Amino acid sequence: MLDDIEEIHPLFKGAPKTTEFRKLRKRIIRYVREAVDQYGMIERDARWLVCLSGGKDSYTLLAALYELKWRGLLPVDLLACNLDQGQPGFPATVLPEFLERMGVPHRIEYQDTYSIVTDKVPAGRTYCALCSRLRRGNLYRVAREEGCSAVVLGHHRDDILETFMMNLFHGGRLATMPPKLLNEEGDLFVYRPLAHVAEADCEKFARALNYPIIPCDLCGSQDGLQRQQVKQILDGWEKNAPGRRQVMFRALMNARPSHLLDPKLFDFEGLSREAPKD
């Protein structure tokens, strides 16, 4: 039966039978499919490196991609990958044991970037920027070694909004995480299929399926992060005006260069009046 979700993949074993969960799953799958189609992510017979941190978002991403494959809507090969960055106390056996149990092809890569980050970043500063660069470089390398054409990340709608606000407040530019990006070398795509999915939905989905969530102890535990401050602002707006995040997200898909100020995007100088009609 098409909607018998336990038949899709072991990742869905034990899924709740409630109407609420079925609606949640369908909503997530619909949004992921829309992003994949809208941003042209599918190259037939391609191989994707699906990056797993062990957080709620990456588990949701993996399950959604496997459902789309099961439905014949994602004709690509999937290889899950976790980059163990050497954080003290990181439960290194959780993800490989889980992926083995689920029958998911995977690669666990160990690179002690934690020591590099803590050595290079001054006390009191956040680790995120350097950590991200080191992580991305290693994932690109693994993707090339495994013959993958794309690195697939679990960033969701709220990550994209927060990044936009951080660039607006701190970076002085209108930019965010794009759903599809070509790396600087031009040989790998970076995809974010959860681009339309709300963080709250990822949370509900991963918890409902009892995935073994691994918290981020490297940078997520630091106080005063700009991202946390932006998240609090967005949370406040959402509380006072429910649906505000979705309205803001739609705005990112509805840019009007003629109503902004960047002359590289719109030819203001060449704008001319029409001659009056007789």
Q: What is the pLDDT of residues 185-224, one digit of tens each?
A: 999 999 999 999 999 999 999 999 999 999 865 444 454 4
% of the chain surpassing 90 pLDDT:
75
Say if 111 falls within a structural domain: yes
Say if 100 falls within a structural domain: yes
- The pLDDT tens digits of the residues spanning 223-242 come to 447 888 899 999 999 999 99
Question: Residue 116 has what pLDDT?
Answer: 84
Say if 178 falls within a structural domain: yes
Confidence of residue 98 (pLDDT cuts 50, 70, 90): very high
Nearest Cα residue to 249 out of 187, 184, 179: 179
- The pLDDT tens digits of the residues spanning 2-31 come to 566 667 899 999 999 999 999 999 999 999
Domain carrying residue 184 = 13-253
Say if 260 falls within a structural domain: no
**Domain CATH number, residue 113:** 3.40.50.620
**Number of domain units in the chain:** 1
Question: Residue 63 has what pLDDT?
Answer: 97
Mean pLDDT, to the nearest integer, of 57-80?
A: 96
Task: Note the helical H segments in 195-252.
Answer: 199-208, 226-240, 244-252
Nearest Cα residue to 165 out of 238, 61, 217: 238
Say if 169 falls within a structural domain: yes
- The pLDDT tens digits of the residues spanning 110-128 come to 988 888 888 777 776 777 7
Say if 160 falls within a structural domain: yes
Mean pLDDT, to the nearest integer, of 25-51?
A: 96
Question: Residue 217 has what pLDDT?
Answer: 54
Say if 2 falls within a structural domain: no
Mean pLDDT, to the nearest integer, of 67-92?
A: 92
Mean pLDDT, to the nearest integer, of 121-136?
A: 78
What does DSSP assign to residue 153? -
Altogether, the residues listed in the chain come to a count of 278
Mean pLDDT estimate for the chain: 90
Say if 267 falls within a structural domain: no
